């Protein structure tokens, strides 16, 4: 079974802090994704990566950046956290184009 592991289930940070969310997958998947999930809005794509050191903006990249130095790890960075970034963040990976995505359990991030 594919395992996508997010480093924290719950995280509380302060406004202005630099926040790192980590995601690791164990199935040698090419593609990795970061989404945020908010009630009534579903999942919205922040960034995705289709190879090491490659990244593309999703639908809501403002205020975020990403890093993929190794194939199995994809990090989401909040450069200067703001309260409107309080949300559930989900990481996913997939083997290739049009293949189903496998999700981690999510990180619930609160910015105070």
Residues 6+ apart with CB under 8 A from 62: none
Q: Which is nearer to other proteins, 7 or 17 (CB)?
A: 7
Q: Please report how close the Cβ of residue 43 comes to other proteins at its closest, in angstroms.
A: 4
Between 84 and 100, name the residue whose CB sits nearer to other proteins. 100
- Residues 63, 81: Cα–Cα separation, whole Å: 8
Q: How far is the CB of 77 from other proteins (least distance, A)?
A: 21
Residue number, 15 or 99, with CB nearest to other proteins: 99
Nearer to other proteins, 44 or 71 (CB): 44
Beta strand 10-13 with 107-111: parallel, antiparallel or unpaired? parallel
Q: Which two tokens stand for residue 80?
A: 């200067």
What SS3 string covers 18-80? CEEEEEEECCCCCEEEEEEEECCCEEEEEEEEEECCEEEECCCCCCEEEEEEECCEEEEEECC
Smallest distance from other proteins to CB 80, Å: 27
Q: How far is the CB of 100 from other proteins (least distance, A)?
A: 5
Residues at the contact surface with other proteins, assessed by CB under 8 A? 4, 31, 33, 40-45, 48, 50, 58, 90, 92, 94, 96-106
């Amino acid at each position: 079974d594919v395992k996508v592991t997010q480093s924290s289930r719950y995280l509380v940070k302060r406004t202005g802090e630099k926040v790192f969310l980590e995601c690791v997958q164990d199935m040698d998947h090419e593609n990795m994704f970061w989404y945020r999930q908010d009630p009534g809005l579903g999942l919205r794509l922040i960034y995705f990566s289709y190879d090491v050191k490659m990244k593309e903006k999703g639908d809501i990249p403002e205020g975020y950046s990403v890093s993929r130095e190794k194939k199995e790890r994809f990090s989401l960075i909040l450069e200067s956290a703001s309260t409107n970034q309080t949300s559930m963040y989900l990481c996913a990976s997939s083997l290739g184009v049009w293949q189903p995505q496998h999700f981690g359990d999510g990180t619930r991030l609160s910015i105070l």
